Amino acid sequence: MLAAELRLHDVRVLVLEKETEPKSFVRIVGLHMRSLELMAMRGLLERVLQHGRKRPAGGFFAAIDKPAPKDLDSAHAYLLGIPQPVIERLLEEHAVELGAQVRRGLAVAGFEQDDEGVTVELADGERVRSRYLVGCDGGRSTVRRLLGVGFPGEPSRTETLMGEMEVGVPQEEITAKVRDVHESHRPFWLRPFGQAIYSVVVPAEGVGDRAEPPTLEDFKRALRAVAGTDFGVHSPRWLSRFGDATRLAERYRVGRVLLAGDAAHIHPPTGGQGLNLGVQDAFNLGWKLAAQIHGWAPEALLDTYQAERHPVAADVLDNTRAQMELTSPEPGPRAVRRLLTELMDFDEVNRHLIEKIAAIDIRYDLGAGPDLLGRRLRDIDVKQGRLYDLLHHGRGLLLDRTERLTVGGWSDRVDHLADPTAALEAPAVLLRPDGHVAWIGDGQRDLDDHLSRWFGTPAG
Ligand SMILES: Cc1cc2nc3c(=O)[nH]c(=O)nc-3n(C[C@H](O)[C@H](O)[C@H](O)COP(=O)(O)OP(=O)(O)OC[C@H]3O[C@@H](n4cnc5c(N)ncnc54)[C@H](O)[C@@H]3O)c2cc1C
């Protein structure tokens, strides 16, 4: 995502990936509303929809089964279930189409930075020179470790096995058992998935060496420990394990080196937010880093990446901590879960939790102003069709109902749509390339101040 965002601004990008082949195991992830909005903003939504299954937006907070209220504030008010390898492939194709270079089988092993750039050393001894380096290298990030950035938080307390395999008993038997086990153990499921294949998730109880990859025997042992039967599982397609560590990088930037995605934050998968959070980090960072590289970034623009995204990740970590408590089988957390389930009958409570998980509630702190300032603008109707269709090139946009404002010397970075019909509750708004509202008002001088603040000095 970051490579593509940088390419929109004509920055030369090299992606280094240590694996020679894309990941083979198929984890289904959910793209939540804000990520779907980002796809729409870059013209990728149709492509993504072709490979996923739309599901209702509700029922994700701690897996509490409540339908979403009808009037959610998004034109894309659903969740898209899509295999993670597919979304990774689609994003890679998008980046490559835009001109990013991807080199596989190359692991970053070290780097040094100076005033002009970063020299990256690869495991095979090759050296690569670049202006900036962004570590998007996952929870065990080499870049974060080499930077010496702290990763405080809580270590993993429980481990869960996850895999795909065939089972040797009828579906009715599985359904009945899963219902019983749910009373005492979560996460736990055996869900049919394609022809005769089941997705199996079970707490890793009774499983030995956690440093080793799990085996089918580990799955059988864990299933017997919680369900009293191993369901005759056999013929695994893939087997994996994940923990519930919760950690947040102390800094997202040291000089010319930055962190994004799981390299910056890890948390349990409850609520399905990790990939979404990382994609949204990249969307926030891309245009700012491009501005810095092209030399038009106002001072401190690049630092707004950490100022804006670090609190968002802290909030996601907190909501996953809360969700993990709510899935505990202990009597206290179960009582709190029952109470919250009742409270979610109130639409406002349900909506609050859905908006949090779907990341459409985010308001960056851009100073005092109307509530819309710092929030993302939904995909509204405009004169030419849909607002998000006007954002495909990753430029700023002045949406102007006054018909007397101008973007003047910033027209090489910011588009101007004079549209008195726009479904907008303000005379004019300035949108950043990530779709967040940077200014609301009707005065040219005030607008110019904000254009300078976000887009640097005007041309000419
Ligand atoms: C069971 C489970 C279910 C999940 N479900 C969801 C969900 O429903 N929704 C959701 O949003 N998220 C979900 N997640 C989280 C999601 O999978 C991660 O947040 C996401 O993969 C993070 O992406 P990333 O690119 O930051 O890191 P990664 O996916 O870890 O990618 C990092 C890449 O960097 C490469 N790399 C590592 N070190 C180096 C190096 N030194 N040099 C070069 N390359 C390197 C790796 O090979 C890898 O390809 C789930 C996670 C788990 C475990």
Contact 182, 190 (CB under 8 A): no
pLDDT: which is higher, 315 or 203 = 315
Phi, psi at residue 397, to the nearest 5°? -145, 125
262 C-beta closer than 6 A to ligand 1: yes
Q: Is the CB of 142 under 6 A from ligand 1?
A: yes
Has residue 125 got a pLDDT over 70? yes
Residue 444, pLDDT above cutoff 90: yes
Per-residue pLDDT, 315: 98
Q: What are phi and psi for residue 268, nearest 5 degrees? A: -60, 155
pLDDT digits 0-9 by tens, 153-189? 999 988 899 999 999 999 888 998 888 887 777 778 8
Question: Is residue 227 lining ligand 1, measured as CB closer than 6 Å?
Answer: no
Closest Cα to atom 46 of ligand 1: 137
For residue 297, give the nearest of 99, 9, 63 by alpha carbon.
Answer: 9
Identify the weakest region by mean pLDDT among 9-18, 22-31, 122-131, 430-439: 22-31
Is 17's C-beta closer than 6 angstroms to any atom of ligand 1? yes
Distance between Cα 274 and ligand 1 center (Å): 8
**Ligand 1 and 26: CB distance under 6 A:** no
* Per-residue pLDDT at 355: 97
Task: Report how far ligand 1's centroid is from the alpha carbon of 367 (Å).
Answer: 34
Cβ–ligand 1 contact at 107 (below 6 Å): yes
pLDDT average, residue stretch 292-321:
97
In this structure, the residue with its CA closest to atom 3 of ligand 1 is 269
Indicate which atom in ligand 1 lies nearest the CA of residue 266. 19
Supply 247's token pair.
Answer: 């950690």
**Does the beta carbon of 441 lie inside 6 Å of ligand 1?**
no
Q: CA 390 → CA 35, 45, 238, 362, 412, distances in Å?
A: 17, 14, 42, 22, 15
201 C-alpha vs ligand 1 centroid, how far in Å?
Answer: 18
| Structure confidence at residue 206 as a pLDDT band (50, 70, 90) | low
**Ligand 1 pocket mutation pick from 14, 19, 24, 27 by most atoms within 8 angstroms of CB:** 27
Distance CA 125, CA 141 (A): 19
Q: Which of 24-33, 74-83, 159-168, 268-277 has the lowest mean pLDDT?
A: 24-33
Concatenating the DSSP letter of every residue in 221-273 gives: HHHHHHHS--TT-EEEEEEEEE---EEE-S-SEETTEEE-GGGTEE---TTS-
- CA of 261 from ligand 1 middle (Å) equals 8
Query: Ligand 1 centroid vs 335 CA: distance in angstroms?
Result: 34
| Atom in ligand 1 nearest the alpha carbon of residue 27 | 3
Q: What is the pLDDT of residue 209?
A: 67
Nearest CA to ligand 1 atom 15: 274
Q: Which long-range contacts (CB under 8 A, 24 or more apart) does 18-24 make?
A: 18/105, 18/106, 18/107, 18/108, 18/123, 18/137, 19/104, 19/105, 20/104, 20/105, 21/104, 22/85, 22/88, 22/89, 23/84, 23/85, 23/88, 24/85, 24/238
Q: Among the atoms of ligand 1, which is closest to the Cα of residue 242?
A: 53
Q: State if residue 137 touches ligand 1 by the CB under 6 angstroms criterion.
A: yes
pLDDT band at 384 (very low <50, low <70, confident <90, very high): confident
Separation of alpha carbons 52 and 28, rounded Å: 9
Which atom of ligand 1 lies nearest, measured to the CA of 30?
8
Among the listed residues 81, 59, 76, the one whose alpha carbon sits nearest the alpha carbon of residue 68: 59
- pLDDT over 90 for what percent of the chain? 82
Number of C-beta neighbours around residue 176 at 10 A? 10
pLDDT reported for residue 180: 85
Tell me the residue type at 318: D
Instruction: Please say if the pLDDT value at position 266 is more than 90.
Output: yes
User: Which residues, listed in sequence order, are joined to residue 53 by a DSSP beta bridge?
Assistant: 81
Give the list of residues 6+ apart from residue 393 with CB closer than 8 angstroms, or none: 8
Grade residue 95 by pLDDT with cuts at 50, 70 and 90: very high
Instruction: Return d(Cα 2, Cα 279) in angstroms, integer.
Output: 8
How many CA atoms within 13 Å lie on the side-chain side of 137?
21
Q: Is the CB of 278 under 6 A from ligand 1?
A: yes
Supply 367's token pair. Answer: 């100073």
